A and B are shown apart, each in its own frame.
Chain A
């Protein structure tokens, strides 16, 4: 155990040295700031910026529901403490009113404040760095056109040593390099647009790519599915494996992004908020682009086969399914989409982690509200069932109708209550 720890540490220090030695290039390459492009009219640029603010879901972290837009204060609880999205309105005292377009680009592209202080990567600049300067300027123009709010940004509440911002210099040296995403000339425009949206403003990797203990995304496992750090939710694989998007058509993907559901499944938990706050506002072309790019991702590694669950758990689970679930999700787990999602072949059901299934049983929830589905159907919470019953039910759902995702323990359920 200790040995493993030290070898890990050693590897990290070596990586760090390597990056620092060869890595001055990253800062140097990013230094020349391009002047803002003036070709587009102001209005068109603001409109582009408004659209990008939705694609990037800025409000998700910078707006408290029912409060002033972009005035910040949204908590993001993490293992390091709680971060609060800051005020990004044009207020000169409390927002980003004193920032220039260059300052804004420096934040988005380099992850730094105007005074050079490194930003916490809870602000997803490892993804935003791929955005173009023109898009950064458009987003800046839009934010500057919004009403200023004099709500002060709430200071982060991070524990020592994470409240020492200078440590981010080390983190950045190891895990961050700025760079705009260049188009791949071997692919068509749709694919390139999709890749840009997914890997840049959409920052899908922030949830769908595994992070290490220092919260850095692992680029080798891009979009392969991940337990969302410090939340009970699992962001499913977006690659082409069975528990990813193998059985989803591009249309299924685009439909979920538009309405919140498709014949394959329904967005829940944090993804429901992303659909209602962001992807429902994308153009059809952009949703198709995202779908085309995701469908092109190679399958991540297949899961190792898991042991079959006990007959007793399957029997108890089957009885509970008959009693509580069959009315909506149907006898063969086929559901009644789009009202109620299928459970057979459902990516959230097949995921490596049983968290989503257990969460849904425990807490229920409504599908996201979207323009195309303003009165969604919902699922009741089954928190009155015992941990052991919920474990049996989840086990049954994960191992019936062709699903083979393994057993769920009562202890697992307890940990999610």
Chain B
């Protein structure tokens, strides 16, 4: 968290400068609330018994501090809401999400420890890099933007923004942000929900949403989200900031507007 390497890109450097003050405040806040998150570590090497050492099994694929793997397959986990991350860890361990390396890795780990791991990555606030994908064919951009921002009421299809927030940054503690993720990862998740490979607690709202999307629409909305620059500060909205249009088993019930 402290030893962040500045990105080489000039545009993100200036963004970093602007952020320095905010970051300092955030660090002080974190140091007060989560002193263990700022364990002193040697400049080189990995000191045992730190959380950073304990999650070395994660960061090999998900990148340093969970900033995402280099190949567009392993998503960023840094800064995702803790409740969402915990739900994913439990789901991988118990079979709701099917990815054998994750299942094997998490086998036998108790919920308490997974919660600590989720919290650790939720607290990594790292800058986002510029999207790799910016140019989309106009038709694709239009479809993607429509699905993301307004949905399709005629089909009962809510917009991404309806649950993930108007800036797509999610809501604490269970709804993840959608920006800063690779297109392939996004489309793979929507596809997995559509086919039942990825499952969440019933009622599985994302399975319902993905079931209404055509493969072309999945491609369009994934590409559109992946092409959006991430406006800093990019953080999940506080819990209860808005009410959800559909029933989701994975969301704490208090977040639902209607009964």
Interface residues of A (CB under 8 A from B): 66, 272-273, 276, 324, 327-328, 336, 339-340, 363-366, 368-369, 374-384
Interchain CA distance A376-B51 in the complex, whole Å: 10
> Known: A336-B48, A369-B110, A374-B113. Contact between A363 and B58, CB under 8 A?
no
In the complex, what residues of B have CB within 8 A of residue A272's CB?
A: 108
Whether B108 lies near A379 (C-beta < 8 A) is: no
Q: How far is the CB of A259 from chain B (nearest CB, A)?
A: 14
In the complex, what residues of A have CB within 8 A of residue B112's CB?
A: 374
Chain B residues 17 to 69 lying within 8 A of chain A, measured CB to CB, are: 45-46, 48-49, 53-54, 56-61
Interchain CA distance A368-B48 in the complex, whole Å: 16
Whether A328 lies near B101 (C-beta < 8 A) is: no
Q: List 12 A-B contacts (CB under 8 A).
A: A324-B60, A328-B56, A336-B48, A339-B53, A363-B101, A364-B104, A366-B107, A368-B108, A369-B110, A380-B58, A380-B59, A380-B61
In the complex, what residues of A have CB within 8 A of residue B45's CB?
A: 327
Whether B109 lies near A369 (C-beta < 8 A) is: yes
Whether A369 lies near B57 (C-beta < 8 A) is: no
Interface residues of B (CB under 8 A from A): 45-46, 48-49, 53-54, 56-61, 94, 101, 104-110, 112-113, 116
Whether A383 lies near B101 (C-beta < 8 A) is: yes
Whether A366 lies near B109 (C-beta < 8 A) is: yes
Whether B108 lies near A378 (C-beta < 8 A) is: no
Q: How far is the CB of A280 from chain B (nearest CB, A)?
A: 12
Whether A381 lies near B56 (C-beta < 8 A) is: no
In the complex, what residues of B have CB within 8 A of residue A368's CB?
A: 108
B117's closest neighbor in chain A, by CB?
A375
Interchain CA distance A340-B108 in the complex, whole Å: 18
Partner of B104 from A324, A336, A340, A363 at Cβ < 8 Å: A363
In the complex, what residues of A have CB within 8 A of residue B56's CB?
A: 327-328, 377-380
B104's closest neighbor in chain A, by CB?
A363
In the complex, what residues of B have CB within 8 A of residue A66's CB?
A: 94
Whether A369 lies near B49 (C-beta < 8 A) is: no
- Top 7 nearest A-B pairs (CB, nearest first) are A380-B60, A378-B57, A339-B48, A380-B57, A381-B101, A363-B104, A336-B48
In the complex, what residues of B have CB within 8 A of residue A381's CB?
A: 60-61, 101, 104-105
Q: How far is the CB of B218 from chain A (nearest CB, A)?
A: 26
In the complex, what residues of B have CB within 8 A of residue A328's CB?
A: 46, 56
In the complex, what residues of B have CB within 8 A of residue A380's CB?
A: 56-61, 105
Interchain CA distance A364-B55 in the complex, whole Å: 12
